[in-house]
Amino acid sequence: MSKRTFSIVCIPGDGIGVDITDAATQVLTKLSSTFGTFTLKFDTIDWSSKNYKQRGYYAPEGGVNSLKKYDAIYFGAVGWPDVPDHISLWQMILPIRTTLNQYANVRPTKILPGTSSPLSACVADPSLLDWVIVRENSEGEYSGHGGTTPSTAHAAHTVATEVSIFTKVGCERIFRFAFETALSRPRKKLTMVTKSNAQRHGMVLWDAIFYEVAREYDGRVEYDKMLVDAMTVRMVNRPESLDTIVATNLHADILSDLAAALSGSIGIAPSSNLDPTRQFPSMFEPIHGSAPDIAGQGIANPIGAFWSAAEMIRWLAGADGASNDEGLVEGTGVGHMVEAADCLMQAIANVTEKGVKTRDLGGKSGTKEVTDAVCEEIGKVY
C-alpha cells in the first residue's frame, strides 16, 4: 500500500490554544508512526493576539489564501483580554471559515467512559446522550452585515444594526448536509432548531427550505422542529429524544456549549469546519476558547483537541473520495486512516475510564499526563 503524506497547517493562536495544539500534534505523530500507513507533515503559523498587538494584524495580506495549499488546518483558539474579541474573531476565524467554504460545522457530543454528566438520567445511562450538532457556519447571525452610526459609539443617539442573512443556497446546502449526517447515523433522526415565531423573515425562510429538503428524505430520516428556547429544555430533560441537530450559526454556537457542559466539560468538545465539496481544506478545532483563566498552568483538558484531531484523520480518510449525487464527497479510505481515527477515540476512552483526567472532569492530572497516557494507549489499542 502506498504511503500518503498529508500536510497540516497548525494555528495554535492564544492561551490554551497553544498547549492543546502541542498536545494534539504529539498524539497525531504517535498515531501516524504507530500505523505507518500515512504521514502527517506539520507547519505552524503564529497568528496570535500577541502578534496582533505588535504588528496590527493576525493573518497577513493573502494569509488565508495561503492556507489553500494544505490538506487540513488544525486550529487551537484565538482571543486574549487585551484585544477586543470581535477583532480576533473577525480577523482570524471567520475569514478562514468563509473564504475556504467551510459552511458546515460539525460538533459531536457524547459522555466518555469514566466521566459524568450533570444530568441524573445520564449518570445512570451515559448512552442517553449521543448527539451531533450541525452548525450553519457561513451566514445567519454571523454574516457581519450592519453598522454603527455615528461610528464613534456611545453618543446619545448612536444606532447599531446586526443583520442576519439567510440565503436559499446557504439553507439548502446545510440542511442537505444535516440530513446526510442523520442518515449516516444509526437512529436516522434530525431535529431542526429555529426561532421563526419571533423572527418572521430569515427564520421563516430557514423553516420553509428545511421542509423542502426534508421531502427528499421522507421515509429515510425521521425529522422534527424545535424553537431554540424550548430546545434547551429538551436537551436537559429528554436527551435521549435527540440525535442529529441542525441549527443556525448563533443558535448552534450556544447549544453546543450547553451540549458540551451536559456531557461533562467544554474541554472535551470537538468541532470540524468542513468544506463538504473538498475544494478547500477543512479546519478542525476544539469548541472552547483560549481560556485565559487557566492558560500557562498546564491544566487545560486536551481531549477536545484530540477528538478534533480524530475527526481530522477521519475526514482525510475520505480525501480520495468522489462526489455523490448530493455533491457531497464520500470517503474511500486512505491507508487505514478510519481505523486510526477509531484507535485514537478508543485510546481517549481508555484513558478517561482509567481516571487519568484533568480537573474540569474531576481528575487531578495535567495536560501532559493526559497526553502521555493517550500516546501510550494508542500503542496498546493498535
**Residue 266 Cβ vs Mg ion, minimum distance, rounded to whole Å:** 9
Q: How far is the CB of 47 from ligand NAI (least distance, A)?
A: 11
CB of 288: closest distance to Mg ion in angstroms? 8
Asked if 335 interacts with ligand NAI (CB under 6 A), we say no
| Residue 169 phi, psi (nearest 5) | -65, -40
Query: Is 260 near ligand NAI (CB under 6 A)?
Result: no
Q: Which is nearer to ligand NAI, 239 or 366 (CB)?
A: 366
| CA–CA distance, 327 with 176 (Å, rounded to integer) | 10
CA pair distance 205, 175, nearest whole angstrom? 12
DSSP 305: H
What is the rounded CA–CA span in Å between residue 374 and residue 345? 9
Site pattern 294..333 for ligand NAI (x: CB under 6 A): x-----xx--x-----------------------------
Beta bridge partners of 136: 104
Q: Are 330 and 365 in contact (CB under 8 A)?
A: no
Site for ligand NAI in 29-88 (CB under 6 A): 77-79, 85
With cell 461610528, the residue in question is 151
Out of 21, 290, 350, 371, name the contact with ligand NAI by CB under 6 A: 290
Q: Residues 104-143 vs ligand NAI: string with x where CB under 6 A?
A: ----------------------------------------
Radius of gyration in angstroms for the set of CA atoms belonging to the chain, rounded to a whole number: 20
The binder of 253, among ligand NAI, Mg ion, none, by C-beta within 5 to 8 A per type, is Mg ion
Euclidean distance between CA atoms 274 and 283, whole angstroms: 7
Q: Is residue 93 within the footprint of ligand NAI (CB under 6 A)?
A: yes
Nearer CB in complex with Mg ion: 19/253: 253
Among 253, 285, 360, 377, binds Mg ion (CB under 5 A): 253
236 in Cβ contact with 262 (< 8 Å): yes
Contact indicator for 192, 225 with CB cutoff of 8 Å: yes
Cα distance between residue 197 and residue 195, in whole Å? 6
Residues that bind Mg ion (CB under 5 A): 253
Task: State the residues that interact with ligand NAI by CB under 6 A.
Answer: 16, 77-79, 85, 93, 266-267, 285, 288-294, 300-301, 304, 358, 360
